[in-house]
Amino acid sequence: MGPVVPDLQSWTAAQASGRWKNRTMTEADRPISERVSVLDRPPRDGDSPIVSRLLDDHVDPSSVRLALVDDDRLVYIGRGADDELSLLFVDGQGAGGGTGPRSSLTERGAIVQWTSGWSGRPSNSRFVVTGIVADIVTEVWVGDVQATLQNNAFAAVMPRGAADAVTVTTSDGERQVPLPRLGL
Q: What is the pTM of this model?
A: 0.82
The pLDDT of residue 74: 94
Segments forming the whole domain that contains residue 131: 23-178
Cα–Cα distance between 171 and 20 in angstroms, integer? Answer: 32
Answer whether residue 105 is part of any domain.
yes
The pLDDT of residue 141: 96
- pLDDT tens-place string over residues 10-33: 323 333 444 444 456 899 999 999
Answer whether residue 83 is part of any domain.
yes
The pLDDT of residue 11: 27
Answer whether residue 5 is part of any domain.
no
pLDDT in tens, the chain (184 residues): 333 333 323 323 333 444 444 456 899 999 999 999 999 999 999 898 766 565 666 788 889 999 999 988 999 999 988 889 999 999 887 788 888 999 999 999 999 998 876 555 555 567 899 999 999 999 999 999 999 999 999 999 987 777 889 999 999 999 999 988 765 4
Q: How many domains does the chain have?
A: 1
Cα–Cα distance between 51 and 69 in angstroms, integer? Answer: 16
Answer whether residue 107 is part of any domain.
yes
